[in-house]
Amino acid sequence: AQKVTQAQTEISVVEKEDVTLDCVYETRDTTYYLFWYKQPPSGELVFLIRRNSFDEQNEISGRYSWNFQKSTSSFNFTITASQVVDSAVYFCALSEEKAAGNKLTFGGGTRVLVKP
């Protein structure tokens, strides 16, 4: 069965510091998809990135970067030069190719607090 673990429940940093969120996943499927979502105080989950299991290339989008390592089953997320607006709960999620539909399996989330 699939599982996603986000070991860090809460991280507190001072503005401009870098912060890395860990995500470790388990799956028996050879084809799968990994996601990061951001949940700001308003409540909705905002999509940040999707990665498929065949694409291990790291990605950078502005201050956000992602490190996908199949060898360690990890998909970590780094926010560079954090800002107060980055304060939110961040969820890592997994979708398996063989699973019926496209349901997401979420980690427990990591709350990031960026202090000015």
Partner 1 sequence: EAGVTQFPSHSVIEKGQTVTLRCDPISGHDNLYWYRRVMGKEIKFLLHFVKESKQDESGMPNNRFLAERTGGTYSTLKVQPAELEDSGVYFCASSPRTSGRGDEQFFGPGTRLTVL
Query: Contact residues for partner 1 (CB under 8 A)?
Result: 4, 31-33, 35, 37, 42-47, 50, 52, 91, 95, 97, 99-109
Per-residue DSSP letter, 72 = G
Shortest separation between residue 56's beta carbon and partner 1, angstroms? 15
* Cβ proximity to partner 1, 36 vs 82, nearer residue: 36
In the bound complex, what is the minimum distance in angstroms from residue 5's beta carbon to partner 1?
10
Using alpha carbons only, what angle is made at residue 36 by residues 47 and 2, rounded to the nearest 5 degrees?
Answer: 125
Whole-angstrom CA distances from 48 to 2, 53, 97 are: 21, 17, 20
* Distance from C-alpha of 93 to C-alpha of 66, rounded to nearest angstrom: 14
Closest CB to partner 1 among 19 and 109? 109
Nearer to partner 1, 6 or 82 (CB): 6
